[in-house]
């Protein structure tokens, strides 16, 4: 009997593909029954990025897969509410060194609440995050002010914004550098709405890779789903990148109403200055967050996202 610790690099339904990183040699595995039953808090008991103990006899293949016997403790994970089961969560990926949240101002049009929900989830699980503003070559000079406003909003909240264009290559070298991490073995997540260009970015980061590249539906300017399963790719310049399916929604999970503002860095920095503690930053007098909002130090769009999360509290707790 052979035993090893491996990393989950692909989820194909009931079949997983593992590799003993940093060695990149995939082999199939299935989940032992009692492990599946013990992970009842999520719709997927094993996520890409999970480190697992496994065992096998002979040479594992589709007809003789290895068996996952234990899921090792996670350093972190990114989770959202299951789209079909409101009381269940869905783990997007685990053990992430950095998340790249890809968005575009247009094609498809940016939805600030969607981006802010992803950012909040990264804050919850202490995942370093970079925002990738893609498709810069499509905007034209008339959108320059909107680009600067976007950068101002998120830079003032403490986030790195990488301006990116697959057509010109702008921003790709910075993403490539961050993917490698300090030891060339960083595990990174690429996430965002359908159609924002995630697969095209992966292809440019490493031309030897061939993720599916989708198109934009002209009728609604929405992306069509091309990636249906989570998959990790090795980047030739160093590090690994997890490509997530194009998302159309991001429901928050496991969060109390009183906790929401703690995961807005710009609000957390001011919360001790509020007259009343705790403060919901909605109606209380002497609220430092509301004062900063009136002075333009906190953006209207971020505050609107915050209020939306409070209103939907009953749906995502």
| Statement to judge: residues 125 and 33 lie in one domain | no
| Statement to judge: residues 39 and 126 lie in one domain | no
| Pairing status of strand 129-133 against strand 160-163 | parallel
* Distance of alpha carbon 132 from alpha carbon 303, whole angstroms: 21
* Distance of alpha carbon 134 from alpha carbon 13, whole angstroms: 30
* Distance of alpha carbon 177 from alpha carbon 191, whole angstroms: 18
* Distance of alpha carbon 205 from alpha carbon 299, whole angstroms: 33
pLDDT above 50: residue 108: yes
In a domain, 250, yes or no: no
Rounded to an integer, the average pLDDT of 166-193 is 93
Which residue, 31, 51, 71, sits at the end of a domain?
A: 71
Contact between 48 and 8 under an 8 Å Cβ cutoff? The reply is yes
| Statement to judge: residues 50 and 91 lie in one domain | no
pLDDT at 36: 56
Specify the number of domains making up the chain: 3
**Chain segment 69-82, per-residue pLDDT in tens:** 999 999 999 988 76
| Statement to judge: residues 32 and 138 lie in one domain | no
- CATH label of the domain that carries residue 153: 3.40.50.300
Which residue, 43, 71, 99, sits at the end of a domain?
A: 71
| Statement to judge: residues 183 and 84 lie in one domain | yes
In a domain, 137, yes or no: yes
Which residue, 42, 71, 100, sits at the end of a domain?
A: 71
Instruction: Tell me the whole-structure pTM to 2 decimals.
Output: 0.87
Band (33; pLDDT cuts 50, 70, 90): confident
In a domain, 113, yes or no: yes
Higher-confidence residue of 227 and 308: namely 308
**Chain segment 14-30, per-residue pLDDT in tens:** 899 999 999 999 999 99
Higher-confidence residue of 299 and 213: namely 299
In a domain, 251, yes or no: no
- The whole-chain average pLDDT of the chain stands at 86
By CB atoms closer than 10 A (0-12, 13-18, 19+), residue 44 is middle
| Statement to judge: residues 14 and 55 lie in one domain | yes
What beta strand segments (E) does the chain contain? Answer: 2-12, 15-19, 27-31, 51-56, 66-71, 77-81, 89-94, 98-103, 129-133, 160-163, 187-192, 216-217, 222-223, 231-234, 240-243
pLDDT above 70: residue 215: no
In a domain, 184, yes or no: yes
pLDDT at 37: 47
| Statement to judge: residues 156 and 305 lie in one domain | no
| Statement to judge: residues 227 and 182 lie in one domain | yes
Say how many residues make up the chain: 317
Please provide the DSSP assignment of 179-226 as one string.
HHTTTS--EEEEEEBTTSSHHHHHHHH-TT-------EETTTTEEPP-
pLDDT at 307: 95
pLDDT at 84: 56
**Chain segment 6-16, per-residue pLDDT in tens:** 999 998 878 99
pLDDT at 316: 42
Higher-confidence residue of 60 and 307: namely 307
Band (227; pLDDT cuts 50, 70, 90): very low
* Distance of alpha carbon 277 from alpha carbon 22, whole angstroms: 48
- CATH label of the domain that carries residue 11: 2.40.50.140
| Statement to judge: residues 94 and 233 lie in one domain | yes
pLDDT at 116: 96
* Distance of alpha carbon 24 from alpha carbon 168, whole angstroms: 31
| Statement to judge: residues 154 and 207 lie in one domain | yes
Rounded to an integer, the average pLDDT of 160-166 is 96
* Distance of alpha carbon 274 from alpha carbon 118, whole angstroms: 26
pLDDT at 87: 65
Percent above pLDDT 90 for the chain: 64
- CATH label of the domain that carries residue 307: 1.10.40.50
**Chain segment 34-68, per-residue pLDDT in tens:** 665 445 467 788 999 999 999 999 888 888 899 99
| Statement to judge: residues 109 and 179 lie in one domain | yes
In a domain, 248, yes or no: no
pLDDT above 60: residue 228: no
Question: Which residues span the domain enclosing 114?
Answer: 77-243
Rounded to an integer, the average pLDDT of 78-92 is 73
pLDDT above 80: residue 250: no
pLDDT at 34: 64
Per-position b or e across 180-216, b if 16+ CB within 10 A of its CB: bbeeeebbbbbbbbbbbbbbbbbbbbbeebebeebeb
Contact between 6 and 49 under an 8 Å Cβ cutoff? The reply is no
In a domain, 289, yes or no: yes
| Statement to judge: residues 279 and 307 lie in one domain | yes
């Amino acid at each position: 009997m052979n035993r090893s610790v491996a990393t989950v690099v692909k989820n194909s339904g009931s079949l997983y593909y593992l590799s003993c990183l940093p060695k990149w040699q995939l082999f199939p595995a299935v989940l032992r029954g009692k492990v599946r039953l013990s992970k009842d808090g999520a719709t997927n008991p094993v996520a890409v990025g999970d480190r697992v103990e496994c065992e096998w006899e002979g040479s594992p293949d589709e007809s003789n897969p290895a068996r996952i016997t234990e899921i090792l403790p996670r350093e972190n994970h990114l989770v959202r509410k299951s789209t079909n089961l409101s009381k269940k969560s869905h783990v997007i990926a685990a053990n992430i060194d950095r998340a790249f949240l890809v968005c575009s101002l247009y094609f498809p049009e940016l939805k600030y609440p969607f981006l802010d929900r992803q950012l909040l989830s990264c804050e919850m699980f202490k995942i370093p995050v970079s925002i990738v503003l893609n498709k810069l070559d499509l905007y034209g000079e008339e959108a320059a002010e909107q680009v600067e406003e976007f950068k101002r909003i998120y830079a003032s909240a403490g986030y790195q914004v990488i301006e990116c264009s697959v057509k010109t290559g702008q921003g790709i070298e910075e993403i490539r550098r961050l993917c490698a991490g300090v030891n060339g073995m960083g595990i990174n997540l690429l996430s965002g709405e359908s159609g924002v260009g995630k697969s095209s970015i992966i292809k440019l980061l490493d031309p030897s890779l061939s993720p599916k590249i989708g198109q934009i539906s002209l009728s609604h300017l929405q992306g069509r789903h091309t990636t249906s399963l989570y998959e990790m790719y090795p980047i030739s310049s160093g590090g690994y990148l997890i490509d997530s399916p194009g998302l159309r929604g991001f429901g928050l999970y496991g969060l109390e109403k009183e906790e929401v503002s703690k995961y807005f860095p710009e609000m957390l920095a001011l919360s001790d200055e509020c007259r009343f503690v705790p403060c919901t930053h909605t109606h209380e007098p002497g609220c430092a967050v509301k004062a900063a909002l009136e002075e333009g130090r906190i953006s209207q769009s971020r505050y609107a996202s915050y209020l939306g999360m409070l209103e939907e509290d009953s749906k995502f707790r």
